[in-house]
Amino acid sequence: MELIGQGILQAVRLLLAGDAEVWSVTWLSLRISATATVLSLALGIPLGTTLALSRFTGRGFIISLVNTGMGLPPVVVGLFVTIVLWRNGALGFLELLYTPTAMILAQLVIAAPIVIGLTLAAIQQIPEKFRLQLLGLGASHAQVVGMLLKEARLPMLAAVMAGFGAVISEVGASLMVGGNIRNSTRVLTTATVLETGKGNFDVAIALSLILLALMFLVNWALTWIQQRRVV
Amino acid sequence: MLFRLLLVVLCSVSTVPALAQSTTVILSTTTSTEDSGLLDTLVPMFEKKTGLTVKTISVGTGQALALAARGEADVALVHAPSLERKYVEEGKMQNRRLVMYNDFVIIGPEDDPARIKGMPKAVDALKRIAETQSRFVSRGDKSGTHLLELGLWKQAGSEPKGAWYIESGQGMGQTLGIANDRRAYTITDRGTWLAFQKRISLPILVEKDKPLLNIYSVMEINPANGPRVNGVGGKAFADFMVAPETQAVIKTFGVDKYGQPLFVPIAGQSEADFQ
């Protein structure tokens, strides 16, 4: 318990003293995971909506795949993305391995199924009759989709939180595709692993607390957006 | 118009990586060099001197060498002489040069159930641990430390197997934590043991035996291993590691923090000097 107390003190000290390395690591974590989340939304919302509104053979199978993907193990994603990005790999010519871009790519693979799956569920929970009514009133297809998404905004924001939460907290993929390189690809989670390995438990605890605080702030902001018109 | 645009995009995609390649050196190394903090001192020195950027990938020695052999790195700094020689013989690595050494120690619980304290030979101590089936924590991760441990068991003629033999599968720091928690014996490099003094209470029981020497060497990766190996950058880093100024830094590294140096520089010497 004493150690956790020390860790809290250390966290406050590192942040207040403006420890440049801690700030840059925190900023990089936020930048990478926010970018990955935004990209996963750009990809996941259209795919999830299409999946929710269309009917075709094999749809059930694809939805099962998406649902499995929602729990994709980050280490597995990390391993495959690494192999693809290797100099000998399919995308080796891009020289992306051990860069923040590679980490965004891996995190996108982790977050996209979560966004697709939750979008699908959010759209599908809206009664079919609502859609038919809109069509009956003469709404165009695009207008219907717009209305549905607006109606589904509460669970959609939950999708944003779930996606962001999954990628900012994962360590397996970031460690493998980023390499935990100082001043380049070191983020809060990988730095925590490193400091634990070094036996600097107080610094590791401090970094964990900063990560938790960051996640809280982001979720707080998103919750505020989600709840402001409801109450 | 569209065609020209496509051409421009393609050109920019293909030239940017080519530029990036010549200024980036991927160093494949072991967790012990990174955890000790030595690379945090040496890498910026090298970058300032050469203008190259080093990407340090620190993993177990087994993985570090496997990555290098696939051409996924440009230079390797590792500590597993027998495995290194195998890769050099196969032509995957070249120009192997000794850089520095530190040493391994056998640590264990104060009450020393296997009675190994002060034994001069590490092999005999391990034999005694196996005979008494005293708990022992192994890295179990093909790291340089693990390979050395396996070599010692082989020499001791005992097969480490059974409930007393715990394989952590983790880095040295975590393994020390497990050994401390289970009141078990383990083999560790002295540097990590020193760094963990505040956290663990396992004293050194066997030390200063020749086979416990932990020799680090630097090797360049054969550019034939892969399409994008930066041979020039790799060689520059290898040369830097054995340069007199670098060796002088290694000689005093750790004194301010632990009161003793963590590594002994040995550039220019050969293994025969340590037999």
CATH of the domain at A166: 1.10.3720.10
Residue B11 has pLDDT above 60, yes or no: no
* pLDDT at residue B227, as a whole number: 85
Domains in chain A, number? 1
Q: Smallest Cα–Cα separation from A111: which of A62, A169, A186?
A: A169
Domain residue limits at B148: 103-212
Residue B9 has pLDDT above 70, yes or no: no
Q: Tell if the CB–CB gap between A95 and B199 is shorter than 8 Å.
A: no
Domain residue limits at A72: 2-227
User: Of B196, B212, B228, which one is at a domain's C-terminal end?
Assistant: B212
Q: Are residues B176 and B225 in the same domain?
A: no
For residue B5, tell me if it sits in a domain: no
Residue B233 sits at the vertex; the CA angle it makes with B229 and B236, to the nearest 5 degrees, is 140
For residue B3, tell me if it sits in a domain: no
Q: Answer whether A150 touches B (CB < 8 Å).
A: no
* Rounded-to-integer distance, Cα B52 and Cα B214, Å: 29
Residue B95 has pLDDT above 90, yes or no: yes
Q: Are residues B74 and B111 in the same domain?
A: no
* pLDDT at residue B37, as a whole number: 86
* pLDDT at residue B60, as a whole number: 82
Residue B79 has pLDDT above 70, yes or no: yes
- Pick the residue with more confidence: A49 or B20? A49
Residue B15 has pLDDT above 70, yes or no: no
Q: Are residues B219 and B208 in the same domain?
A: no
Q: What is the average per-residue pLDDT within B172-198?
A: 91
Residue A216 has pLDDT above 80, yes or no: yes
* Rounded-to-integer distance, Cα A179 and Cα B110, Å: 38
For residue B1, tell me if it sits in a domain: no
For residue B200, tell me if it sits in a domain: yes
DSSP secondary structure letter of residue A94: G
* pLDDT at residue A229, as a whole number: 65
Q: Quick one: how far is CA A96 from the chain centroid?
A: 20
For residue B124, tell me if it sits in a domain: yes
* pLDDT at residue A7, as a whole number: 80
CATH number for position B243: 3.40.190.10
Residue A92 has pLDDT above 70, yes or no: yes
Q: How many CB pairs under 8 A join A and B?
A: 62
Domains in chain B, number? 2
Q: Smallest Cα–Cα separation from B236: which of B38, B19, B81, B53?
A: B53
Q: Answer whether A181 touches B (CB < 8 Å).
A: yes
pTM of the model: 0.83
Q: Which residue of A has its CA nearest to B22?
A: A95
DSSP secondary structure letter of residue B222: P
* Rounded-to-integer distance, Cα A134 and Cα A197, Å: 59
For residue B2, tell me if it sits in a domain: no
Q: Answer whether A21 touches B (CB < 8 Å).
A: no
User: Of B212, B244, B266, which one is at a domain's C-terminal end?
Assistant: B212
For residue B4, tell me if it sits in a domain: no
Buried-exposed string B157-173: b where 16+ CB fall within 10 A, e elsewhere: ebebeeebbbebebbbb
A190: confidence class by pLDDT, cuts 50, 70, 90: very high
Question: Hey, how many other C-beta atoms are within 10 angstroms of the C-beta on B263?
Answer: 25
Q: Are residues B96 and B220 in the same domain?
A: yes
Q: Are residues B171 and B38 in the same domain?
A: no
Instruction: Measure B139 CA to nearest chain A CA, in Å.
Output: 13
Inter-helix orientation angle B172-181/A188-198, to 10° = 60
* Rounded-to-integer distance, Cα A173 and Cα A104, Å: 10
Q: Are residues B36 and B47 in the same domain?
A: yes
Average model confidence (pLDDT) across chain A? 91
For residue B165, tell me if it sits in a domain: yes
Q: Which residues of B touch A183 (CB under 8 A)?
A: none
Q: Which residue of B has its CA nearest to A191?
A: B35
User: Of B173, B193, B212, which one is at a domain's C-terminal end?
Assistant: B212
User: Above 0.90 for ipTM, yes or no?
Assistant: no
B19: confidence class by pLDDT, cuts 50, 70, 90: very low
* pLDDT at residue B221, as a whole number: 95
Q: Which residue of A has its CA nearest to B31?
A: A197
Residue B2 has pLDDT above 70, yes or no: no
Q: Are residues B30 and B154 in the same domain?
A: no
Q: Cα-flanking dihedrals φ and ψ of residue A18, to 5°?
A: 65, 35
Q: Tell if the CB–CB gap between B173 and A198 is shorter than 8 Å.
A: yes
Average model confidence (pLDDT) across chain B? 89
Q: Are residues B208 and B227 in the same domain?
A: no
* Rounded-to-integer distance, Cα A173 and Cα A78, Å: 4
* pLDDT at residue B195, as a whole number: 83
Q: What is the average per-residue pLDDT within B126-142?
A: 95
